[in-house]
Structure 1
Amino acid sequence: MSHSTYNRMWSEAQVELESLLTQEIPAQPLRPEKDRVVFFQRLSVLYVRYVQIFRQLEEAYDQVVHPQKRRIIRGVLDGVMGRVVELKNEMVEKEFSEYHYMDDVIQDLKLTPEDIEIPIPRYFLSERSTMLTDRRKKLSNILMEILEKPRTLGVRTLKLEEAIRIIQVSERARQGRLRAKFMRDIQRDEERLKRASDQDVGAATVHAAVVLIQKVWKGYVQRKKTKREREEEMIFLGMAMESSLTQPSPVRVSAQANKVRRRAKQEEYEEDYQKSTVAIKEELRELEGAKMRETMKDQIRQWFIECRDATGTFPDYPDEEEGGSALIFTEKTPQQVIEELAAKDEDVNKNSKVKEGKEKGKKEKGKVEEEEEAGLKMLPSAFLGDMEVGNKTFTEVWQNRTDSKNFSQRHEAELIKEEKRKDLEVEVRLQVDELMRQELANWKLAVDNEKGGKAKAGAKKKKSTKSGKKKKKDKDLTADRDIESLYQELVEQGLLKQPEDVKLQDYLGDYSYLGTTLRQTDIEPMPSLSDVRQVMALYAVLPLGSQVIHEKAPLVKAILLAGPAGVGKKMLVHAICQESGANLFDLSPLNLAGKYPGKNGLSMMLHLVFKVARLLQPSVVWIGDAEKMFYKKVPKEDKELDPKRLKKDLPKILKSIKGEDRVLVVGTTQDPFNADLKALCKVYDKIILIPRPDYASRYIMWSELIKKNGGEITAALDLSSLAKISDGYTQGHMMKVARNLLTERRVQQLPKRPLTAAEFVALLAKIDPVFQDEEEALKNWYAKTPLGKRRARAAAGIEGEEVPPTKGSKNVKKKGK
């Protein structure tokens, strides 16, 4: 596509964004909505529209080559991504569920499920490609060194009787194999002689053979012709696709090559832009720096004289914290500036008294405000301001700007001059402030006989920035070591691993088309795998990939993935690392067995892991079998692993993770029932229940797995029936069956013997599926989590903190407690 296509895509996204900003920042505040359904509908529409803008801006940012335009798009893109994450968090708070069904909204807006799929911004990896490649090479080299280290093998001496027995067994096996080969050759010769003696080569026999050959050949030709005619008819009716169209078209191949060329141009233009920025700033400093400096000095001196004429004394020079001389150049008179500086001192004293009065009135006003503000309101956003600034820049600078003279879309020097002139002004102002402070002191000493060393009684006192209590800093246990040695130690100990090469889009699954319909009939639908993929993109990939989102959006420090074995929990962990370019640390109980023993060893291990994770962020800390850390009672077979080692120290470290630390803890479990639920929920902010695949997801998965393993889908294979029969089986089961069936020999037989569903059923029958009891147990466990309890209260129409007691429940709180 051309430059104009992506410019138009950006322009359309900005127009839509401006419409949304007008709706979200109205002239008058919106009244609270009392109907929860109406409020959630409003949130859903906003979410869908922001996702569409997100998709457009991401595509535009990936292909626009103009370096200055890309900076504006990047700022708006980060703001839109953050707003999408905020809306997702708000929908969770209002609907008390991690999964949401918006098929009615999609239908009203005439969209497809692909239109609201969360895209993973390509700049997460492209802008760090060199660093990620170097890190991958370094990790591979360390692993190769570990494998190449010579291992000392213990040699065990055999007794004479044992050696004789081993030799005898080997010799008897050799003689048996040789005897079997001779017998097989003799049997084959006897069968050949018998067939030769039974053959009758008469005329009648030859005629019968010819007729048989003709019958087989004519049947083969007719079946082939009928099959071809059937395929042509299906293509004519639009129920099948031509084989030539299944291959990538030349136009598509050309478009992909064009995208690659545009990305190469981006790097070239960016490098040229950086060089021009430095050159233009130096040029401005030489041409305009001296004049700008003298102009500022004259203005400041004029201000000194006007203040002395108005008040009789020279003013105090504003501090750097207040803006320095920039405060002088605001549209105020000298008297107003002096009054403003004096008023700030009075405000500091008044604030302490006002706070006391406010605290007393809070309780009385609380009830009144609750009555007035009854209803649901949108939570405040940290990204609307950024989007508004980006939209304003687009409107003022780029919307009506023509590119007729800049066909190649290189940088524009005039815009760089405007930007760097402001930077130069700030730089010169700091230098001028230092000179003018000294000049003002000399004026005061010469005219008013003031001593520079003494301060006036009314002069401002600097506020002490130090708080009464000093914050205790954590001791660095590895202050004398560099990051390279720490990285190598973690790799050698097996705590830092190379994530598998899987993407989030490889987690196959179709959209849930009946979610809203089922909820309207008071039936809670099971989420689809597409919903799981969306949740992982919003909670994990986007915050890890973007520093802006991680700092401003609601902070998620730890996620727990719960579900039956084989539903792809581990695959999701690796996909998060691959999509965001994160390091993978493995703190699973089985992986920690025998490493860093003792209390001091545990402290050192956690210090190493989280120090490297912060320095080489983004990072993912994976804890497999997360329920073992919170065992109610440790089983005998797991006592040697000491699975509860991290139970006390991990929550403390999670508290130290701040918005600037792109570190995410991801736990996976298939038996969460064995854990202490209260302790588990304190560690993990989000608990995601991953179900087994539904019919639509199984249909897509069978198709992709068969193709991936070298198979072909023909009319002989009834995929619909296969997807129906495999109900209850997970992705892991299906992958295992596809690999076992599609061996090299079976793939070679496909042209003569196409695949059938019966072949898959025979292998599926040997595997135990996820039974209904296990699925119900997971549902009941999830209903006991904090979000599950809130969902149950909302479904029962009960407001408050206490859960309605179930029949037979012993934990019923008495009144008054």
Structure 2
Amino acid sequence: GEREVKPIKDHVTAFKALATSYIKYVQVFRNLDTAYEQIVHPQKRLAIRQVLEGVMGRILELKNDMVTLENSEYHYFDDILQDLKLLPEHIEIPIPKYFIKENLKVLQEREKLLAQILVNAGLETQKPVKTMDFEEAIKIIQVAERARQGRLRATFMKQIYLEEKRERQAKLQGKTGPNPDDAATYIQKIWRGYNQCKKTEKTGEEEMIFLGMCPPPNFQTTSTSMLRAREVNILRGEVQERHEEDYRKALVHTKDRLKQTEGVDIKETLQDQIRQCFIECRNIVGKFPDYPTEEAGGSTAAFSQKTPEQVDEELTAKEEAALQKKPKKEKEKEKEKGKGKGKGKGKEKKKEEQKIEKKLPETTYFLPPETVGETNDFCNFSPLLSIAWITAIWNNRDEGWNFLQERDPELIKQEKREEVEKELRVQVDEMMRQEVRTLKLVVDKEQSDEQKKGKKSEKVRAASCKVKLLSSLTIDSLYKELAERGLLIKAKTVNLSDYVGEYSYLGTALRQADVEPMPSLSDVRQLIALYGILPLGSQAVHEKAPLVKAMLLAGPAGVGKKMLVHAICTETGANLFNLSASNIAGKYPGSSGLQMMLHLVYKVAKQLQPSVVWIGDAEKTFYKKVPKAEKEIDPKRLKRILPTFLKLLKAEDRVLLVGTTRRPFDADLRPFCKVYQKIILIPRPDYASRFVLWKHIILQNGGVITKTLNISCLAKLSDGFTQGNIFQAVQTVLSERRMLQMTKKPLRAVEFMTSLARQDPVYKEEEETFKAWYAKTPLGKARIEALAEKEEAEKGRGKGKAKGKKKEGSKEKKK
């Protein structure tokens, strides 16, 4: 029997249960992603893809539940990770490669087209190559060569002059050179000291490597096994593409063959089945029933996909058929009513329970078809059920013949037979609908207006098809127009992994001590993957997971807000539309022009999804008071129309609105938060993130890290500075001249400090302003209220205990 799910009253226990499930789902997701990449069989890949999308959706659902429970976008699992003996890397959200891989050709063509449009429009000029005359080139070479020879001659002459000077001084003083034995002893002493220093240094290094304090010498170089793995990956990718192409061709070929071989038989059996059912209905009811319309599902809706065998059984048992068919509609209505009542009661109960206690979610959109309805228990691990459902198909299949893991023709036949039956059923429905009309007219003497309605609907359909055709024809011209106007821009190629940041290891400890920790850059990266990349990359996930239409990235200058926008586009292959106030100034003037602009953006973004609509300096759209300098730009143009734009976006439209702001406190809070319901506060990097950043940026810019460079010192001294500041400091230091000196003169921490000191850090006042602003947002308010309630409850308990103690004390005194 079904076991009841008891609601969890304790807040901490509820969160731990959710967080543990979330971590396990992430692990399953990582393993499934690897499996999907490595399997070659096209049908098995499709099955894994379904489960993979289900797991992605489940992760997003759990994240949403944690946000509603905790009233915070950031969660800390360090204690749970410790219990499960996992590392922070194990819960890093992977980005499936198929987002880009499966649309690579389309994306490459679109990229070429955009680049060409921008070059033709003069918006993106190719780097000009300076043409030089032959004589001019010879002159430059001559000047450089003469200067080089001059420098060599000067150094040579200097050496001669110094030697002559020493000889003159020696003659004047009348001193002879040192004793050869003393000189030899001195040289030996210097050499032995130097040699011993080198040996001591080497043994010290070996000891550090042995202890694991330093990496071995060839630690950074890629091993032969890694290179071999890369080659295998490329070969596997080619095999996957070949098998996929073969599978697609087989789908079409098998369908055509089935239509030719089995099509006539299927038609006949369907006609016989429908006729028998209608005759039987007439015998029971006394007249022919109305034939269901195409919108209602045709004959499938009426006969619940009954096979001819079932119909034969019904004909043999007339009484049973009468009982089943006559009150069928009534029974269904009763069931629906019962369901409706149940739902209503359930909602009321849930509302009451939510007021009293916290409860875990019971339903999900991401369970496999066989398991939905079997259980509502959240704790049952749905990916395992999904995998069990898939293995039930594949475990008992003999694949001894299929060593190369090519398509399975029998499975294709089963799948296509259903499709052929559906298509033929539509044709049979048309024929049978006409036949029923004539029977009604002749036998029951009834007339119907379905024909006229049908004609009308056909006209409507034809008109809608024309509209669709027109829109599909004009989409390229619209794309070109938006690109030429500078509203559709080219995204920079930046991966999410390039947004370097370390995990926060003290999050739970600080929260237990009633201190709200500042989120780490690793947490920000996770949120971007969850809210931005996964839903935009997968259609199924976007449709069923909790919908995020708009997202705001708020934080001080230089923390990588724009970089994250470009990373979302790079990882999902999305188009990037720039609707920043400065970019749309003077474009599409007037209210009609504004509507036209957003209509074009919506049309192109939806047609060529996934798409990201980016609004830089998002606070300008919702200014409390527009500054005099910006009145000409009219920054508040989009204020009224943005909510309607978001309403147009449906669950099936993979379009995301992303706002970036460094001064969110300048905006009118209420309308600002209505548009951007997901607000991600990006902080300045903490010590751990700065330590990793310095290393990463120095290596990225061609620097070499040695023992002389104290990165820990750099990380400590750069407290308050953002990633942008660190990047700028490294770039100014690592000039071409400095790079040439790298071998003789290794890098030191002092070199970076001067260029870093010239920049402005994030001051405490600015950070406090951000915190205060976030506390006023809906989620920030909810968190503060929840914490206040918790404190009051604890104080109430404490007072109760104290009163008890006081009473006991007074009794003792009286005694």
Q: TM-score range by the shorter chain?
A: 0.7 to 0.9
- 2:364 corresponding residue in structure 1: 381
In the TM superposition, what is the alpha-carbon distance from 1:371 to its structure 2 partner? 6.0
Alignment match, 1:13: none
Corresponding position: 1:94 with 2:69: yes
Alignment match, 1:229:
203
Aligned residues: 726
Please tell me whether residue 505 in structure 1 is matched to residue 479 in structure 2.
no
Which stretches in structure 2 are left out of the alignment for 5+ residues? 126-150, 373-385, 458-466, 793-815
From 725, 733, 758, the equivalent of 1:766 is 758
Tell me, yes or no, if structure 1 residue 658 matches structure 2 residue 635.
no
Matched, 1:414 2:410: yes
The residue that corresponds to 2:789 in the other structure is 797
Please give the alpha-carbon distance, in whole angstroms, between the structure 2 residues aligned to 1:432 and 1:568: 60
SS in 2 for 1:258: helix
Distance 2:576 2:651 in 1: 19
Of 730, 733, 738, which aligns to 2:725? Answer: 733
Look up the match of 1:283: 257
C-alpha contact 1:563 1:690 (8 A) present in aligned 2: yes
Aligned-partner SS, 2:632: helix
**Residue by residue, what CA displacement relative to the aligned partner does 1:61-90 show, whole Å, maximum 9, x if unpaired?**
122110100111111111110111111111
2: CA distance between counterparts of 1:310 and 1:665? 59
Per the TM alignment, residue 377 of structure 1 is displaced from its structure 2 partner at its CA by 2.4
Q: Deviations 1:296-330 (Å, cap 9, x if unpaired)?
A: 44444544555566566666555552551643726
1:394-473 alignment to 2 at 5 Å?
394-439=390-435, 449-451=443-445, 453=447
Q: Does 1:563 align with 2:555?
A: yes
1:109 CA displacement: 1.2
- What SS is found at the alignment partner of 2:659? strand
Q: 1:279 to 1:726 in 2, by over 3 A?
A: same
Normalized against structure 1, the TM-score is what?
0.81
Shift of 1:291: 3.0
C-alpha change, 1:520 and 1:394, in structure 2 (3 Å) is: same
Q: Match of 2:304? A: 327
1:90 counterpart letter in structure 2: D
Contact 1:593 1:642 (8 Å CA) reproduced:
yes
Partners of 2:431 and 2:159 in 1: CA distance: 113
TM score, norm. by length of structure 2: 0.81
Q: Is the 8 A contact 1:500 1:574 kept in 2?
A: yes
Residue 5 (structure 2) pairs with residue 30 (structure 1): yes
Quick check: 1:56 aligned with 2:31?
yes
The answer to whether the 8 A contact 2:40-2:243 is kept is yes
Note the alpha carbon deviations across 1:36-76, whole angstroms, 9 max, x for none: 11111110011011111111111111221101001111111
Shift of 1:637: 2.4
Could you say if the C-alpha distance between residues 85 and 366 of structure 1 is closer, same or farther in structure 2, counting changes exceeding 3 Å?
closer
Q: Which is further off, 557-566 or 191-200?
A: 191-200
Change (3 A) 1:187 1:132: closer
Question: Is 1:614 matched up with 2:618?
Answer: no
Map of 2:230 onto structure 1: 256
Q: Secondary structure at the match of 1:644?
A: helix
Q: CA deviation at 1:734?
A: 0.7
- Specify the code of the residue in structure 1 equivalent to 2:480: Q
- Separation in 1, partners of 2:208, 2:261: 75
Q: Which residue of 1 aligns with 2:84?
A: 109
| Distance 1:432-1:645 versus aligned 2 partners, 3 A rule | closer
Q: Would the alpha carbon gap of residues 611 and 337 (structure 1) be closer, same or farther in structure 2, given more than 3 Å must change? A: farther
Match of 1:737, SS? helix
How many angstroms apart in 1 are the aligned matches of 2:166 and 2:347?
A: 110
**Counterpart of 1:641 in 2: which secondary structure?**
coil
State the partner residue of 2:177: 204
Distance 1:315 1:247, change over 3 A: same
Task: Name the counterpart of 2:571.
Answer: 579
Query: Secondary structure in 2 aligned to 1:559?
Result: strand
Residue of structure 1 aligned with 2:593, choices 601, 608, 619: 601
Alpha-carbon deviation of 1:235? 2.2
Secondary structure at the aligned position of 1:244 is classed as coil
Corresponding residue SS for 2:631: helix
Q: Secondary structure of 2:658's match?
A: strand
How far, CA to CA, are the matches of 2:684 and 2:354 in structure 1?
Answer: 46
CA deviation after TM superposition for structure 1 residue 358, in Å: 6.9
- Asked whether the equivalents of residues 124 and 579 of structure 1 are also in contact (C-alpha less than 8 Å), the reply is yes
Q: Distance in 2 between matches of 1:387 and 1:642?
A: 56
**Quick one: distance in 2 between partners of 1:774 and 1:212?**
63
Query: Aligned partners of 2:428, 2:472: CA distance in 1, in Å?
Result: 43
Cα 1:775/1:214, change in 2 over 3 Å = farther
* Matched letter for residue 329 of structure 1: K
Amino acid at match of 1:787: L
C-alpha displacement at 1:185, in angstroms?
14
The reply to whether residue 44 of structure 1 matches residue 44 of structure 2 is no
Query: CA separation in 2, counterparts of 1:139 and 1:706?
Result: 33
**Larger deviation, residues 435-444 vs 559-568:** 435-444
Amino acid at match of 1:430: V
CA distance in 2, matches of 1:758, 1:100: 37
Which secondary structure state, in structure 1, belongs to the residue aligned with residue 45 of structure 2? helix
Give a deviation string over 1:486-515, Cα, whole Å, max 9, x none.
222222222111111111000001111111
CA distance in 2, matches of 1:438, 1:344: 25
Q: Kindly state the Cα deviation for residue 258 of structure 1 after the two structures are TM-superposed.
A: 0.6
Name 1:804's counterpart in structure 2: none
Aligned partners of 2:529, 2:701: CA distance in 1, in Å?
A: 27
Q: Which amino acid aligns with 2:694?
A: W
SS at match of 1:666: strand
Alignment check: 8 A CA contact 2:123 2:484 kept? no
CA distance in 1, matches of 2:791, 2:436: 66
Amino acid of the residue matched to residue 376 of structure 1? K
Q: Aligned runs of 1:133-282 on 2, under 5 Å?
A: 133-147=108-122, 195=162, 198-200=165-167, 203-204=176-177, 220-282=194-256
Distance of 1:780 and 1:455 partners within structure 2: 66
C-alpha distance in structure 2 between counterparts of 1:490 and 1:593, whole Å: 14
Which SS does the other structure have where 1:30 is aligned?
A: coil
Between the aligned partners of 1:553 and 1:663, the Cα distance in structure 2 is 14
3-state DSSP of counterpart to 2:704: coil
Which residue number corresponds to residue 482 of structure 1?
A: 474
- 1:370 matched to 2:352: yes
Q: Percent identity?
A: 53
In the alignment, which residue of structure 2 is the partner of 1:167? none
Amino acid at match of 1:327: S
**Cα distance between partner residues in 2 of 1:648 and 1:433:** 49
**Other structure's SS at 1:383 match:** coil
Correspondent of 1:634 among 606, 620, 626: 626
Provide closer, same or farther for how the CA distance between residues 218 and 526 of structure 1 changes in structure 2, counting only shifts above 3 A: same
* Structure 2: distance between partners of 1:642 and 1:482: 30
Where structure 1 has 5 or more consecutive residues not aligned to the other structure, the ranges are: 1-25, 151-183, 466-474, 801-817
- Contact map agreement 2:551 2:678 (CA 8 A) in 1: yes
The residue identity in structure 1 corresponding to 2:391 is T
Aligned positions of 1:675-754 closer than 5 A = 675-754=667-746
CA distance in 1, matches of 2:615, 2:351: 45
Between 514-523 and 400-409, report the one with greater CA deviation.
Answer: 400-409
1:103 Cα offset (Å): 0.9
Query: How far, CA to CA, are the matches of 1:616 and 1:455 in structure 2?
Result: 41
Q: What letter is aligned with 1:142?
A: I
Counterparts of 2:471 and 2:418, CA distance in 1:
41
User: Which AA in structure 1 matches 2:709?
Assistant: L
Q: Note closer, same or farther for the CA distance 1:328–1:53 as it changes in structure 2 (3 Å cut).
A: closer
Q: Structure 1 296/94 Cα, relative in aligned 2: closer, same or farther at 3 Å?
A: same
Distance 1:335 1:30 in 2: 42
Find the residue that maps to 1:560 and give its secondary structure.
Answer: strand
2:511 maps to 519
Q: In structure 2, how many angstroms separate the alpha carbons of the residues matched to 1:557 and 1:720?
A: 41
Counterpart code for 2:260: E
Tell me how far apart the structure 1 counterparts of residues 186 and 780 of structure 2 sit (CA, whole Å): 71
Instruction: Note if contact 2:291-2:298 (Cα within 8 Å) is conserved in structure 1.
Output: no
Q: Report the 3-state secondary structure (helix = DSSP H, G, I; strand = E; otherwise coil) of the residue aligned with 2:100.
A: helix
